Every structure is written in structure tokens, then in C-alpha cells.
Structure 1
């Protein structure tokens, strides 16, 4: 199901994509970006919603997959506060009309303060500020999950611990920056790239090596961690990427269906992003739906390494790409959950 809307006053267009509600209401963050065309926004929403279905299923969370995309008339930083507030209010109206079949939270270019604004119109919001009774930002927990996945990947790839490894992080936002801190503390040598001068100044002050944004895909490293926008690795990139493993926080890291097979053929171990970046879902769904405390959230987040190890085991046993193995595991968990629900339903 896809819901769309255009607002002439602001020039913004809205997309809400519900991919699956088999395990529960569809859930997925609100992404705001300036797209080349509305068709690109629709495509992005579809891919992101599908990834959320897989993420919820493979993480054993009782939610389906969905996503919101707001196609902005300009870059987010160029939108004035009054216009942004109207955009958020209209988006909240769109969500509320779905009557709980879709829940949203923060994503690219949205945050807890924005969720507070949405919550003035609709109840179906995750990630409100702590002051408004929400779980707050999920960034640290997302970074922690990627960090645990990175360690599991290094072990499976035969690289040992992260100590002494070269890790290249693309994107130093709240998640990428947190991942950099965790990986550095574990002894990794950090190469980082970003387009924000303040983030790069922080990286230099932290002793990390800064490389140009155009150097990312050609710089040798042990682990490449895409933590910005998705679609960074297509077939051509996969054929020449100078890394031993790929473990990132970005959604939909692979741009096409053959990239995963090419990485496998070259011996580059890919950790599927909908497994590695599930820490944010544990934080939001765990705290706000399941009533978990922070200790329980962290416990489940650290188990991402166990799920990823299971994915690698399936990949090895089936002689298939890790992305295919992760999708197989997600489908298995969906069917198991549906069958368990059917068995316990009142008759």
C-alpha cells in the first residue's frame, strides 16, 4: 500500500509505503530529502519499507515494514522553520489517517524534536524526546549494533578482533560518529569521510585520518562501513572495492541484485544492513512497544552478532550470498511467528 500527497504551498511531496503487516503494524522512520524526481522518492520509499520488513522479521520484533519519505523542494538546511513545521504537520495528518497501521520514527534529516511535533497531531510516533515521554534518539543503540556486527564479521572473516584493523567509516552523523568512537576504543585505526566541516574537525581532533569523500571507494581497508545514504555499492563498485568486509549502518547499502554475489566471489564478507543496523529498532520498539528497560534493549542489541553469525552459517552451508541468506532467515522467522500466532489464537 502506498499513500502519496503533494502540498502546493511548501512544494513538498509525501510518500508512506506499507510493505507488510503480517507481524504487526508497519513501522519505519521518516526520511526527508531533496530527490531528483518524485519517482525517485517513490522508489526509495519502496526499497526502505521492504528493508524494514526484513529488519523487523530477522530481529524477532512484532512489527511489519513501512517507511515515510518526504520529498523536499530544497535541501533540508534551506527549509525555513515555519515551512518545516507545516511539512511535519501535514505528514502527521497523513500518518493519522492510517489509523495505527503505520508507525514512524526518526530517520535521515528528522529527529526526536520532529517526532514531538508529529505527536501533536498523531499518536503513532516512535522516538519522541525523553521530555515528551518517548525513548529519545536511537543513534547510540544503532551504532552499538553495527559495532557488535563488525566484531562478529571480523571474527568470521578471520581478521580476529578489531584491534589493529583499518576501518573506513563513510558518514560521521550521530550513528557513524558513535561507531567511530566504539571502533577506535576497540583498537581500530580509523579512516573517515564526511562533507560536514564540523564533523571532520571532530574526527581530526579525535586522531582519526580524514580522507576525501571521492576517495572512499578506492581506499584500501579491512572493513568498510557505509554510514550515510544507501546504494553505495553497485556491481561495478563491488568488483573493485579494496576491502575485506563491509559492515555499515546505512540502509540498502547494495544498489543492485548482483553486487552481493560479486562481493562473495571476491571473498569480501558483507554483513547485510537490515541485520546490522537493527539496534535502533530494538531501542524504539523495545522501549515504546514492549516495555523493555535500557539493559534489555542493550542485551538484544548485542545479540545482533548472534543473528549475523547465523546468517554467515546459512551462507556457507547454502553456498549463497550473505544477503540471500539473511533474507531466507527473515522469511523463516516470519513464517515461524505467523504459525505460532495461529496456534495460540482463540478458536
Structure 2
């Protein structure tokens, strides 16, 4: 394995011959405090891909924490599974969680993890019996519960901010396309429907689409049509890398705001969106409600109302970012990164 240069602080890689799993922890920055970021468990094409993903996600977490004004650094765990989790038996998964806990302990508190794609609060409950370096336990186990609802609330606040920036008078009557109907995407869809949106949904799981169609009267489209279906607001809530510069040049929406991390596949895509007048809410701001929930409840001692208020304030944060981008003729990503950089520099 050849590790390319990276501006982060630490990359830990471990292989377990018994299960075939690879464990990667990327600590990008501890400037604002101990690094924090979820554990992603999925099948990767190669261990190099897993390392690259952990590093990208860790860097995004640094920006997320700084932009949200939270006293934590950025990190991420990736467990490259030997097979889809649904195919792993309980003993194998328990061993994987045990090794992950051991890796967390080796870092001595410099990195704390929580749920992400492929893991959940129940997994955090198990990890917490093996290591103290865990956020996001279930309420039954003494934790604050899933971060999904607050992530969704923050994404919808980003949608509202983007809609206002685009000149619309609220979400009512707009065509809102939600891609990915997991815990976050489904809740975003419900919030959009409650606000009067004409809801369009898509997911790789037809059952999820059918359930939302029945519950909310949503229109269901094929996953392959997500980048070509005309809509007012596109809300990607699956995995990242969806929007290349080429895709940005033809994306048929006025607002792009979603939960997916690292949504843009290359930096130039943000400039293409800017030139076309597509309002883009940077993902590390739009999806920061989950971090606000976990850090607010477990580190800062906020109650549920305080967390919700801080999460809704993502709308105000983005309004400032949009204004900065307009004033200086830069992308919203550049404006958001400037805000995060100022916070990080202030910690020196």
C-alpha cells in the first residue's frame, strides 16, 4: 500500500486476517479539540479506496466542526468489510466491533467515534462496553439516541436557506427531489412534505420508495434519473461523489442541498454551479446537525431544545455564507471554507 501525501495528522490502518476486515482511522485535525467522526462500515473495492475515503471524510469533519463552532477536531473511521454487513454472522460482527474498540483505545482519546453509514446506535452501545471513546449510544443505554433526526433537521434548514437565496418564497409548491431514503433522507422527505413540497423520491431499495409514496404521496423515480430529472431542489442523502464538473454543468435544479458527505466529485464542480446560478449549500455545513446533536448533548451538556435551536441556525449560517460568496464572487464552498479556516486559525 502506498499512502499519498495528506494534510492530516494521523492515519491508522489495521488488517484482521480472521475476518478479512480492514480498519482505517483518519485523524485530520485536533486543533479545536479531540477529533471526532463516525464509523463507516461497508465493502470497498480496495483498502486504498478505504483509506482515501477515511481521509476525505476526516477532512470534511474538520470543516464541519469548525463551521459549526464546535470544540472538536475532525476524524473518521472506515471499516472495509469482507462482505455486506447483512451477510456477516453475529460472531464476525462482534469481533469486528471488538477490534475497532481496541483501535480506538490505542489512540487514547484523541479520536472519538459515532454512527455513520453501516453502523447505528446499537453498535455504539456495544462499543461503549469496550471503550469510552464513543458518541451516539441509544437512549436506552444512556446516550442521546440517533443523530439522524437532527441531521435531517439541519439539511432541511439548508434547503430553506437555499430556497430563500434562489429567490423562492418558501418550500411550499416546489419540486423537492430526495435521493436516498435512509434514516436521514426519509426524515428530510417528511419535513419537505409537511412544508408543502411536491415530493419526488428515489432509493436503491424499492420498499423504501413505496413506503414514502404511500405515506407522503411522493412520486417515485428510478435511481438513474436523479441527475436528469427537473426539480427545484435536489437533496442527495446517499453517498458522496455524485456531482462532477460535467454533471454540475447540466444539473436541472435551482438549489443543491443534501446530507451526503463529499457531494462534489471535484473542486471545479462548485465553480460550475456558481456560474450557472445554482445555489449550493456545502455539505459539511448542511449536514452538521448530527455533529451538533452528539457534541452538544455529550460534550457541552445541551438539552434537546438547545440542540434543535442550534441546528435550525444552520439556515442563518448558510445565509451568511451565501452573502459572502455573492459579495466576493467566490463559490459557496470557498466561502464556507473561509469561515472554517478563520475558526481554526483563531485556535492557534
Is 1:241 the counterpart of 2:251? The answer is yes
Q: Which residue of 2 aligns with 1:31?
A: 40
1:258 to 262, 265, 268: 268
Q: Once the 2 structures are TM-superposed, how far is the Cα of residue 108 of structure 1 from its aligned partner?
A: 0.1
Is 1:99 the counterpart of 2:95? The answer is no
Q: Which residue of 2 aligns with 1:219?
A: 229
Partner of 1:333, secondary structure, is helix
Q: With structure 1 as the length reference, what TM-score do the two structures score?
A: 0.96
Q: Once the 2 structures are TM-superposed, how far is the Cα of residue 201 of structure 1 from its aligned partner?
A: 1.8
Mean Cα deviation higher: 99-108 or 150-159:
150-159
Paired residues, number: 338
Map of 1:1-347 to 2, 5 A cutoff? Answer: 1-206=10-215, 207-336=217-346, 338=347
Q: Which residue of 2 aligns with 1:345?
A: none
Superposition RMSD in Å: 0.8
User: Deviation digits for residues 82-131 of structure 1, max 9, x if unmatched?
Assistant: 11111011001000110000000000010000001111110010001111
User: Deviation digits for residues 198-244 of structure 1, max 9, x if unmatched?
Assistant: 21121120210000011111100001000000110011111111111
Matched residues in 2 for 1:102 and 1:232: separation?
28
Matched residues in 2 for 1:109 and 1:205: separation?
26
Which segments of structure 1 move beyond 3 Å, counting only runs of 4 or more?
none
User: Deviation digits for residues 1-35 of structure 1, max 9, x if unmatched?
Assistant: 00110001111000000000000000000001100
Q: Which residue of 2 aligns with 1:342?
A: none
Q: Which runs of 5+ in 2 are unaligned?
A: 1-9
Matched residues in 1 for 2:339 and 2:209: separation?
38
Matched residues in 1 for 2:225 and 2:91: separation?
38
Partner of 2:226, secondary structure, is helix
User: Deviation digits for residues 264-318 of structure 1, max 9, x if unmatched?
Assistant: 1111110000001111011100000000000100110011011101110110111
Q: Which residue of 1 aligns with 2:4?
A: none
Matched residues in 1 for 2:270 and 2:126: separation?
39
